[in-house]
Chain A
Amino acid sequence: MGLDIKIPIGLMFTILGLILTILGLVTMGDTEMYEQALGYNINLFSGLIMLVFGCFMLFTSTLFKKKKAEE
């Protein structure tokens, strides 16, 4: 199929990862908010993992390969 699925997956996880990472950074030290998560800044952890995964998907997609070929 013409559309490489890695592009939408990569884009979505990069965007969601960015949102959660920023949220995690902004709320760092907010013990009240993370009390229910036993003190773990779960937004920051999840956000970073998603960001890395999203970027990995994008870099291995046809989007990046085509650009490489053009150069």
Chain B
Amino acid sequence: MQTTFSLGTIDWTIILIYFVFVLGIGWALKRYMKDSSAFLEAGRSLPAWVTGLAFISANLGAIEMIGMAASGAKYGMMTIHFYFIGAIPAMIFLAIFMMPFYYGSKARSVPEYLKLRFDEKTRGFNAFAFAIMTVFSSGISMYALAMLAQVIMPLEIDWNILGLHIGEFDFYLLVSAVIVLVYMVLGGLTSAIYNEVLQFFLIVIGFAPLVFIGLKEIGGWEGLKANLPENMMHSWKFAGSADANPLGVQWFGILFGLGFVLSFGYWCTNFLVVQRAMAAGSMSAARKTPLIGALPKMFLPALVVIPGMIALALTNVGTLELPLKEGTMVTDFDKVIPVLLMRYMPVGVLGLGLTGLMASFMSGMAGNVSAFNTVFTFDIYQSYIKPNKSDRHYLKVGRWTTVVGVLISIMTAYVAKSFNNVMDFLQLVFAFVNAPLFATFLLGMFWKRTTGHAAFWGLIGGTISAAIHHGFTLPAGAVAGVKGGFFGLVQTYPSEMAQNFWTAIYAFSTALILTFVITLLTKKLKTDDELKGLVYSLTPKVKDDSKYWYQKPQVMAVIVGAIAIALSIIFW
């Protein structure tokens, strides 16, 4: 099988033009970066369609692009649960119920909201956990980018600089780091958001031909159906029992674990995505951000999940051979997208598709760096290191944090490269920290009695219970270790997904119960007046200033919900 791409001059030109524009955007934005708010919050001035596209693009990094295509090949149509049940309801909830508090309070970040609503320790816990999480996510995207670059653009590099050996992987890692660094230092959050919008259009236009030709080859939808097992062509039909479907999870686990705990925990409380909505120019625009993002989000499976299914169907027919994971006999589904690009794309569109892929990885890095920046500057530096300095000072710190964030990301990229298990382990820890967070927000936003001590200990308790559940269970076929079972084995789940969903369910329930009980046992320290704008019952209802009825968030939410339900029924 052909293992390298043959790129023509035209492909190189396309890639080069993209990088010129990326850096050009940063350079053009430089003169608007006058204070810390402009740099770290995009001056809260962007239109809703821009923040809406950035909202889903920030999440469309290496992990989703590679992971969802691989999941398409492993779980088939069941993968769309990550979109319909795993994203849309949470986006609607964020827009209608939570955005008024995020945008309406004076908070500049999610941890800062926790400080205003609860107390310092809850904010500290969230800020540090989030900061670590972002630099690792950014490192993974960087690692994926360098790995991709060395496959598509093999270079003979063997430099020796001051005793350090620089190979092609190191070279591409440094080049991508420098590009991201330059445009982020110049244009801050606005740069990151603008490039996410650019990336979104590139991916749509770059990947659509791939799906079109792939479907043609396999014989359209009917051909796909004919060459895949029936339980891979439905999302709900086989969800009655865990053994009947490739995901290995039954409907309750999907609905509650993925649809409620994991998805709400991610889309409603992760500052990486919430930050995009908070950069919008008005309350109305902020509330519309997740809803505008939800519209294209529902159609993304066509671009990222279907290619995985096409690849598997072609393998079943016998016309395609997917590569194996290095040193094993296991098929490497992570290579689906590059393999299909190589198969179908002639010079020209090949460069376009690769540019889309690189853009996705690059903005995956930049998105995380921009969130890290804001949280570090406002929630760690301004809160614990040097409070009460001039705004100019914090702008400078924000710029330097970008440099530090990129440097740490380079380090985490090497960690990802050298220890596969360390990566699994870290992702696990983040899952433990994130899963209970939505319980804290739910109680905090809708029950004014909830206290700071309760929120903090609920979070800690939820995290610990996630670790305990994970320690006593294993997915089928795995050995004790990072995959679980390190405390002994009580239960085996049919798949890793099933185990993840249940870990989340345990963490969420524990946090919810603990926070509730501790609240009843502790004294409420914040007065109703202090909680105004932070809790549902104490906040005046927001008046929407939309010009036309169909622009109102509620109306848009109904439309988005209706389309999601219709698509779920079509692909039942």
Contacts and interface: CB of A to CB of B under 8 A. Distances in A.
Interface string A1-34: 1110100110111011001100110000000011
A69 interface: no
B104 interface: no
B505 interface: no
Given A1-B43, A19-B13, A40-B213, A8 B198 contact: yes
Chain A contact residues, majority secondary structure: helix
Contact of B28 (A8, A15, A19, A34): A8
A5 B197 contact: yes
Interface in B192-247: 194, 197-198, 201, 205, 209, 213, 216-217
A1 B45 contact: yes
B310 to A, nearest CB: 13
Given A1-B46, A20-B352, A12 B21 contact: yes
Given A23-B348, A46-B209, A3 B32 contact: yes
Contact of B348 (A3, A38, A43): A43
A61 B205 CA distance: 20
Could you say which of B24, B50, B349 has the most chain A C-beta atoms within 10 Å of its C-beta? B349
A14 to B, nearest CB: 11
A42 interface: yes
Given A23-B10, A53-B205, A8 B17 contact: no
A10 B539 CA distance: 42
A1 B14 contact: no
Interface string B337-364: 0000001111111001000000000000
Given A19-B10, A43-B348, A38 B217 contact: yes
Chain B contact residues, majority secondary structure: helix
B201 A9 contact: yes
B346 A3 contact: no
Nearest to B38: A1
Given A19-B10, A42-B349, A3 B29 contact: yes
A64 to B, nearest CB: 17
Nearest to A9: B198
B323 to A, nearest CB: 18
Contacts of B216: 38, 40
A58 interface: no
A57 to B, nearest CB: 9
Contacts of A55: none
A43 B50 CA distance: 28
A5 B29 CA distance: 10
A8 B196 CA distance: 13
A40 B215 CA distance: 13
A50 B344 CA distance: 19
B18 interface: yes
13 contacts: A1-B38, A2-B31, A8-B28, A9-B197, A9-B198, A11-B21, A16-B14, A20-B352, A34-B346, A42-B345, A46-B349, A49-B205, A50-B205
Given A1-B29, A19-B14, A19-B348, 11 more contacts: A2-B31, A3-B32, A3-B194, A8-B25, A9-B197, A16-B352, A19-B13, A20-B349, A42-B346, A45-B209, A49-B205
